[in-house]
A and B are shown apart, each in its own frame.
Chain A
Amino acid sequence: MSGATFAERRAAMGFCLHCWTTLLLMAVLVWASFAYLSLDLARLFSAESGRGMLQFVMRFFPPDTSAEFLRKIGKGTLETLAISALGTLLAAGAGLLLALPAAGRLGPVLKALTRFVLNALRSVPELVWAALMVLAAGLGPFAGTLALALHTSGVLGRLFAESLENAPPEPARSLTESGAAPALAFIYGTLPAITPQLVSYSLYRWEMNIRMATVLGFVGAGGLGQMLYYELSLLHEAQASSVIIAMLVLVVFVDAASAWVRRGQMRVGG
C-alpha cells in the first residue's frame, strides 16, 4: 500500500505477461490446427462412429494362434531381431571408423566434413532410409538392416566421437612417447578406456532399434512389420492382432532384459 507501482504489484502477484500471451498463442494455434485439418472432434467421438470403431476392434479378437501362423510369427520375430542386431553391429563399426575423424584426430577439415555426414545420416528418419534402401536393395530384411545401419551410424558416430574427445590422453601419449606406432597407441591406450561407454551406447541403441525394426517392415523392409502390413492389407484382422501381440511381447521382453542387464552391471560396479 505504500507507493508500490502497478508493475511492482503485478510482479508480486506472480503475473507474467509473456507467459500468459504465450499460452494464449498456443491455445489459438491448437484451435487453428484442428480447424485447418477439418477435424470435427464431435463427429469423431459421436455414438455412431463409436459403434463403428467397436465393430472394427471386435474383428481383431480372437487372435489367430494356429501353430502354423505362430511359426511364421516366430520367424518374423527372429528376422526383426536379426535386422536390429546386424544393423546396430554394422553401425557400431561404421560409427567407430567415422568417430576418428569426427573427433578431430585427422585434422579440422575432415572433422567438419565427417560431422556434416554424421548429422545428415542421423537427421533422416529410419523409415525414410528404409524406403530408400528398398529401392536400392529390393524388398526384404536386407533393406531394413541397411536402413538401421545408416541411421544408427550417424547417431553412434556422434556419441563415439564425443567419448573419444573426452577420453584421457595420457595412456596413448605415454605409449607413443615410448615408441609405439600411433595406431597401436590408439588401440591399447585410448580404446580400452572408452570401450565400456561405447558398448553401453551400442546396447542402448540396439534396444531402440528393435522397436524401429518392427515398424520398418511397413515399407517392405522385412520382419514383423512387413507381416503386419501384409495381413492388414488383406484384412486378416485376426492374424494382424497376433502380430501386434508379438510386437508388444518383444518390446516388453527387451525392456525387461535390458533393465536386468543394467541392474547387474551396476551391482558389479561396471
Chain B
Amino acid sequence: MSYSAQQPRLRDPDALRRAGWALLALLVLWPLIVIAEFRPADLFDARNLAVMRGFVGQFFPPNLSGDFLGLVFKATIETLAMATAGIALAMLLAVPLGLVLTHSLSISRIGPGPDRGAGEAVRALARMALLILRGVPELVWALLLVRAFGLGPAAGVLAIGLTYGGMLGKVYSEILESGDTRPARALLESGGGRLMAFFYGLLPVAGQELASYTIYRWECAVRASVIMGFVGAGGLGQLMDQSMKMLNGGEVSTILVVFLLLVLLADALSVFLRKLLA
C-alpha cells in the first residue's frame, strides 16, 4: 500500500556494539560511584543544608571592614613575596641542573671519547633528580616542609622552589636543546668551555624564551602560593582556610574576590613583562 509499508524495517547495524559498550560503561560506572561515595542526597541533608545556607548567606555583603582588609592586603603581599622568592630559589636549582642536562653543551657527545658513558650517567642522574622534584605534587612538599619548618611562608617558598625548580630545569634544557645549537657546538669544538658556549652560543638565541617561560611559571607560582596556604604555608590561602574553618562567609567572599583580582593582576603583569622582554 504505502511506500513505508513495503520498506523492510531498517536496523541499525551498530546497535548491538553500542549496547555492548553502554553495558560495559555501566558496569564500570557502578563501582566508581560506590567507591567515590557519590551520594547526591547528602547535599540536601538537613544539617549540611543549614551550614551551607548560613555560610553562603554571609557571602553578601562581603566583609569590607578596615582591619580585615588590612589583613588581606598583608596576606596578598606575603603571597606575592612567596611566589617571587620561590621562583628565585627554583631558578637557583634549575639553572645548574638544566645546564648539566642539556646535551647541546655536552663535550663528551661531540665525538667518540672516553667520557661518553660518564657524561650520559651524569645527565641521567640530573634527569632523575628533576623528575622527583616535579613528580611530587607541590602541596605534598608544602605539607612536609610545614612539618619540618613550622607554619609560615618559609615552607611555601621552599616547596615552590623545589617543585618549580624541577619544572624549570626540564624546560630550560628542552629550550636550550631545541634552538639552533650550531654556534654552541662550534664554540665547544674549538675548545671553549661549556659556560662560554652557553653564554655566547645558546643564551642570545634562547634567552627570550627562557625568560618568557620563567615569568609564566611565576604567575603559576602565585596561584600555587595561595593554595599552599591551606596547609599552613602563610599568605592568602592560610587566611582563607582560617575563615572557612570559622564558617565566616563574609571574610571568605572578600578573600575569594581578592584572589581572583590577584590572579588577573599576575596574568596581566606576566603578559606585560613578556612583551617588554621581547
Q: Report whether B230 and A86 are in contact in the complex, using a CB–CB cutoff of 8 Å.
A: no
Known interface pairs A44-B154, A135-B51; A244-B231 also in contact (CB < 8 Å):
no
Q: Report whether A248 and B77 are in contact in the complex, using a CB–CB cutoff of 8 Å.
A: no
Chain A, 51-76, CB within 8 A of any chain B CB: 52-53, 56
Query: In the complex, A29 Cα to B218 Cα: how many Å?
Result: 13
A232 at the interface (CB under 8 A from B): yes
Chain B, 254-270, CB within 8 A of any chain A CB: 256, 259-260, 263
Residues of chain A with a CB closer than 8 A to B36's CB: 79, 82-83, 86, 141-142, 144-145, 222
Chain B, 32-56, CB within 8 A of any chain A CB: 32-33, 35-39, 42-43, 45, 48, 51-52, 55
Closest to A40 in B: B154
Closest to B214 in A: A26
B62 vs chain A, min Cβ distance (A): 15
Q: Report whether A142 and B81 are in contact in the complex, using a CB–CB cutoff of 8 Å.
A: no
Residues of chain A with a CB closer than 8 A to B153's CB: 37, 39
Closest to A237 in B: B147
Q: Report whether B143 and A228 are in contact in the complex, using a CB–CB cutoff of 8 Å.
A: yes
Closest to B49 in A: A136
Query: In the complex, A104 Cα to B77 Cα: how many Å?
Result: 40
Query: In the complex, A142 Cα to B41 Cα: how many Å?
Result: 11
Q: Report whether B230 and A131 are in contact in the complex, using a CB–CB cutoff of 8 Å.
A: yes
Closest to A127 in B: B227
Q: Report whether B137 and A211 are in contact in the complex, using a CB–CB cutoff of 8 Å.
A: yes
Q: Report whether B43 and A36 are in contact in the complex, using a CB–CB cutoff of 8 Å.
A: no
Number of interface residues of A (CB under 8 A): 53
- Against A, the Cβ 8 Å flags (1 = close, 0 = not) of B199-226 are 0000000000000000000000001001
B192 at the interface (CB under 8 A from A): no
The DSSP consensus for interface residues of chain A is helix
Chain A interface: which of B13-21, B98-106, B182-190, B239-247?
B239-247
Contact-residue size bin, chain B (C-beta under 8 Å from the other chain): 35 or more
Query: In the complex, A62 Cα to B96 Cα: how many Å?
Result: 31
Query: In the complex, A126 Cα to B61 Cα: how many Å?
Result: 24
Known interface pairs A37-B85, A37-B154, A131-B244; A78-B42 also in contact (CB < 8 Å):
no
A128 at the interface (CB under 8 A from B): yes
- Against A, the Cβ 8 Å flags (1 = close, 0 = not) of B132-173 are 100111011001100110000110011000000000000000
A155 at the interface (CB under 8 A from B): no
Known interface pairs A30-B85, A53-B148, A247-B136; A18-B32 also in contact (CB < 8 Å):
no
Q: Report whether B84 and A30 are in contact in the complex, using a CB–CB cutoff of 8 Å.
A: yes
Please give 12 more A-B residue pairs, beta carbons under 8 A apart, in addition to A29-B84, A131-B240.
A18-B276, A82-B35, A124-B256, A136-B51, A137-B48, A141-B35, A142-B37, A142-B39, A145-B38, A211-B137, A218-B143, A244-B140
Interface residues of A (CB under 8 A from B): 18-19, 22, 29-30, 32-34, 36-37, 39, 44, 52-53, 56, 78-79, 82-83, 85-86, 89, 123-125, 127-128, 131-132, 135-138, 140-142, 144-146, 211, 214-215, 218-219, 222, 228-229, 232, 244, 247-248, 251-252
Interface residues of B (CB under 8 A from A): 29, 31-33, 35-39, 42-43, 45, 48, 51-52, 55, 77-78, 80-82, 84-85, 88, 132, 135-137, 139-140, 143-144, 147-148, 153-154, 157-158, 223, 226-227, 230-231, 240-241, 244, 247, 256, 259-260, 263, 273, 276-277
Please list 27 pairs of residues, one from A and one from B, whose beta carbons are closer than 8 Å in the complex, sorted by A's number.
A19-B277, A22-B276, A30-B85, A32-B81, A33-B88, A36-B78, A39-B157, A53-B148, A56-B148, A79-B36, A89-B29, A123-B263, A125-B227, A127-B139, A131-B230, A135-B52, A135-B247, A136-B43, A137-B48, A138-B45, A141-B35, A145-B36, A145-B38, A215-B139, A222-B36, A229-B143, A232-B147
In order of increasing CB-CB distance, the 5 nearest A-B pairs are: A33-B81, A82-B35, A82-B36, A33-B84, A215-B139
